[in-house]
């Protein structure tokens, strides 16, 4: 994969290096074209109608779900589309049945949208452990594992911090979570 070919799909990036995708991602030409196709050719509610436009919208939506699932090696029924990460995190934080004493682990290198919802759960008696990075901005998987206890229900971490740019070994953390049934 050639970076210059990818950059061609982002005309706004022609003369700049853009490093704020954690806040607002730029939209590549194929996405704009697909959005225009939707608005100009078949805009309708997904899954809620039997007419031609609704069927086409539903088919395209399900095709997108399949494409994402294939790309990340998941099942299409495991894919949920939301407007953004902040919305997704808030759906989880508000949607799960939290009980006093439940435990969440997160890190100090998170974007606020992956930190504040968990801190707010303290009002319900949920315990929140915030793992600090080392002096280089790295959070080690071992430091996360050391915080797991029998009440840990969720590990909410970023793969790449928009704060420091540090990378967490997400595969290792995933294996740790599975080992501890989190």
155: its two tokens: 């590990």
Instruction: Supply the pLDDT for residue 112.
Output: 92
- Shared-domain flag, residues 98 and 159: yes
Out of 52, 78, 104, pick the residue that ends a domain.
78
- Shared-domain flag, residues 89 and 73: no
- Shared-domain flag, residues 90 and 161: yes
User: What mean pLDDT is reported for the chain?
Assistant: 94
Cβ atoms 144, 131 nearer than 8 A: yes
- Shared-domain flag, residues 154 and 171: yes
Out of 48, 78, 108, pick the residue that ends a domain.
78
- Shared-domain flag, residues 91 and 167: yes
Domain count, the chain: 2
Distances in Å between the Cα of 158 and the Cα atoms of 22, 138, 166 are 11, 12, 10
Out of 78, 109, 143, pick the residue that ends a domain.
78
Judged by DSSP in three states, 84 sits in coil
Range of the domain at 44: 3-78
Residue 169's domain is classified under what CATH number? 3.40.640.10
What's the pLDDT tens digit per position in 54-82? 999 999 999 999 999 999 999 999 999 99
- Shared-domain flag, residues 90 and 169: yes
Q: Which residues of the chain have pLDDT under 70?
A: none
Instruction: Supply the pLDDT for residue 3.
Output: 84
What's the pLDDT tens digit per position in 79-96? 999 998 899 999 999 999
- Shared-domain flag, residues 90 and 71: no
- Shared-domain flag, residues 100 and 175: yes
- Shared-domain flag, residues 132 and 166: yes
Question: What's the sign of the alpha-carbon dihedral 95, 98, 102, 103?
Answer: positive
- Shared-domain flag, residues 147 and 101: yes
- Shared-domain flag, residues 170 and 98: yes
- Shared-domain flag, residues 72 and 139: no
- Alpha-carbon distance of 10 to 174, in angstroms, equals 33
């Amino acid at each position: 994969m050639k970076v210059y070919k990818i950059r061609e799909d982002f005309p706004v990036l022609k003369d700049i290096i853009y490093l704020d995708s954690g806040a607002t991602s730029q939209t590549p030409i194929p996405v704009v074209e697909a959005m225009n196709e939707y608005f100009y050719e078949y805009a309708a509610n997904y899954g809620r109608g039997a007419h031609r436009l609704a069927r086409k919208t539903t088919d395209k939506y399900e095709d997108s779900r399949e494409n994402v699932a294939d790309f990340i090696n998941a099942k299409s029924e495991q894919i949920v589309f939301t407007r953004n990460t902040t919305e997704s995190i808030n759906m989880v934080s508000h949607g799960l049945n939290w009980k006093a004493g439940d435990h969440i682990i997160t890190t100090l290198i998170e974007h606020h949208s992956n930190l504040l919802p968990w801190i707010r759960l303290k009002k319900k008696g949920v315990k929140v452990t915030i793992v600090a990075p080392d002096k280089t901005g790295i959070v080690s998987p071992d430091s996360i594992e050391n915080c797991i206890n029998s009440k840990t229900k969720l590990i909410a971490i970023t793969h790449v911090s928009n704060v420091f740019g540090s990378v967490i070994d997400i595969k290792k953390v995933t294996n740790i979570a599975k080992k501890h049934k989190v």
